[in-house]
Amino acid sequence: MTTTTDHLPGQAGAAPQAAALQHVARLSLWRGGLLAAVTWLALGTLVLQWPNKEVGFSDWAYTDEFGVAALTVAAVLALLSVGGPWTARVVFLLRPAAQWLIALPLLLGVWEILTAKLGVLPTPFFAPPQALIEVYGEDWPRLGLSTAHSLRLLAHGFASGATVGFVVGVWIGWSRIAGYWVHPVLRFLGPVPASALLPLAFFFAPSSYAAAVFLIALASFFPIAVLTWSGVAAVSKSYYDVARTLGASERFLVLRVAIPAALPQVFVGLFMGLGAAFSVLVTAEMMGVKAGLGWYLQWAQGWAAYSNMYAALFVMAILCSGLITLLFKVRDHALSWQKGTVKW
């Protein structure tokens, strides 16, 4: 008598990963890691051994710390590269990023040479990498508070715009009456830039924060509403016919047929809405709010503190990239049952 054991979906996906991990463990040397270690070593040597060009009566702070950090990264990568089975799991995670680990110190080296070493890019408009380290090390309370305020404002505005846009999109896609009356208005007013409605937001909103939330919500509302409407309207009529044959109600058709089938389009709208919300965030935070990355950028430009401005821009880029990655994870989880019909 033979018995068969069904493989769970997680087990099927874990088998190739385990095989790849064992393959990495058998390798005695990670050549990409060694090459990355050499480039980071060259960067650290360049920073520490090449004297900086004097800026006025002072030198760039945190130059030694920057060089030591580069040498530390080089040492860690070298140990991982020759660690064999002991570092196989970490190498397995870092291997896809090997080319970036090589390119990053090269880019930082060019940046360092053009600013701190040769002064080709003039100050104060351009600053070397260690100037950003100085901002993060000394001005982190103000920058951290601004990041927290921006996250709160972005969450309120994007959540409001996404909720209203999703509801309106489902309504337009499902109801012929809404499609007749609301859809033309949406197509007429939707392309208007949210920042162009700044005076109206100031006039009608009870506070500057409410006006900022309104602008971000408006920027994210249009792509989410349009793509949700498109997804609901594109659902095959045969799905509804089968559900009606089985006795489904109108509520069931909307919640269990139309919306799940339209989710791929909805997530495309969410990605576009998040990008639009970030593009309006800086403008929204220049309307009298007392903290935020937009306010921080305006303050840095007013004082000609361009190092602080670049540091805030890097924080915004990391924040946007992190939120998009999180949204990808949510999409993958929500649409896991559609992997056979959705492009990944």
Quick: pLDDT tens for 27-40.
568 899 999 999 99
Which pLDDT score, from 0 to 100, does residue 28 have? 65
Which pLDDT score, from 0 to 100, does residue 22 have? 54
* Closest-CA residue to 153 (of 195, 208, 202, 224): 208
pLDDT digits over 2-55, tens only?
A: 444 444 444 445 555 555 555 544 556 889 999 999 999 999 999 999 999 876
Reported as a pLDDT band with limits 50, 70 and 90, residue 101 is very high
- Is 0.85 surpassed by the pTM of this model? no
Reported as a pLDDT band with limits 50, 70 and 90, residue 344 is very low
pLDDT digits over 157-196, tens only?
A: 999 999 999 999 999 989 888 888 888 888 887 778 887 7
CA distance 205 to 196: 15
What percentage of the chain reaches a pLDDT higher than 70? 88
Which pLDDT score, from 0 to 100, does residue 56 have? 58
Length of the chain: 344
CA distance 255 to 250: 9
Which pLDDT score, from 0 to 100, does residue 12 have? 47
How far is Cα of residue 232 from the mean position of the Cα atoms in its chain? Answer: 27
Q: Inform me whether the pLDDT recorded for 69 exceeds 90.
A: yes
CA distance 217 to 1: 63
